[in-house]
Structure 1
């Protein structure tokens, strides 16, 4: 069984909704199991992320999908605290050659979400992970997925009422299916 950890921080449940769609996509792939892992503010003490159980669960995954809302053009402070704690994985290379991907959501189409995705890509590179881009063209196959047009990862845009657009949820599910499938093909052991 190929485990894919979907680790995320959510404030208004929109990022959580995307994460759950990614997990659903992973679970659609035979031989894969998606694991939803939430970064909580109460796990941060004196500026450091302190949930070692979550970190151990990620250690056991073949792939890690990262998710954060875009706040002020970057990942949330809570997500950044998680990234900083993972520096131990940088030092011991325990995440080397895991597959990685990412998703984010912002308030509009030009909300600097790409910087959030690029921050996740750099984090993945620092820890030795292999980045999986979204891999679908905007509205390819007439399904409307990837409406944000970002190839580096899923960029979603919140609806005016704070909800999620159906096409963003479909894209999140696709991202889970893609990462699950790639984890089986590229990391068979």
Structure 2
């Protein structure tokens, strides 16, 4: 079985719920980045041993949080030795508005993965884009490059749309399936 790690920062709990859904779908280990932008003890070893790394951050001002950026900058030690070369990578994000420039965040995560010589896994999910589509449908936000979620700014993490959490779970399952195939 492939070792999958979900490394993420969550400012208000919404991205944590998304990370938990991705991890559930992937059978992955959660690796939170704390409020100071640091990994827990042994975090770098966990990432080095992973077959797939799924990265998550809220979208703040059109990009990742500063805490995630601190982690990304610190990953330059792994980059220098190409320690993560040929690992699978994927990403997810959440913002308060339907668009919220989430694609900029996913592009940031994709670029970080490419700098580490990784291989990117997208959602593999068709968007719910018909007139009959409902907010709790799978991939209602309509992303192919990574999982996107939208949580109103005055909504608690418990109020996240179930469709976004279901999308994250299916996305995690796709990463797990890709990791199993990649390992062959």
- The within-5 A match list for 1:1-189 is 1-27=1-27, 34-42=28-36, 44=37, 49=38, 51=40, 53-139=42-128, 144-159=137-152, 160-162=154-156, 163-188=159-184
Pair 1:105–1:144, CA change in 2 (3 A)? same
- 8 Å CA contact 2:31–2:39 kept in 1: the answer is no
SS in structure 2 of the partner of residue 23 of structure 1: helix
SS in structure 2 of the partner of residue 41 of structure 1: coil
SS in structure 2 of the partner of residue 117 of structure 1: helix
Pair 1:50–1:13, CA change in 2 (3 A)? closer
Distance 1:126 1:52 in 2: 24
**Aligned length, in residue pairs:** 176
Structure 1 residue runs of 5 or longer lacking an equivalent are: 28-33
Cα deviation for residue 139 of structure 1 reads 2.4
Q: 1:30 maps to what in 2?
A: none
Could you tell me the TM-score, scaled by structure 2's length? 0.90
Q: Root-mean-square deviation (CA), in Å?
A: 1.7
Distance 1:50 1:108 in 2: 28
Q: State which drifts further: 11-20 or 50-59.
A: 50-59
Q: Deviations over 1:133-172 (max 9, x none)?
A: 11111128x8821111111111110044233110000010
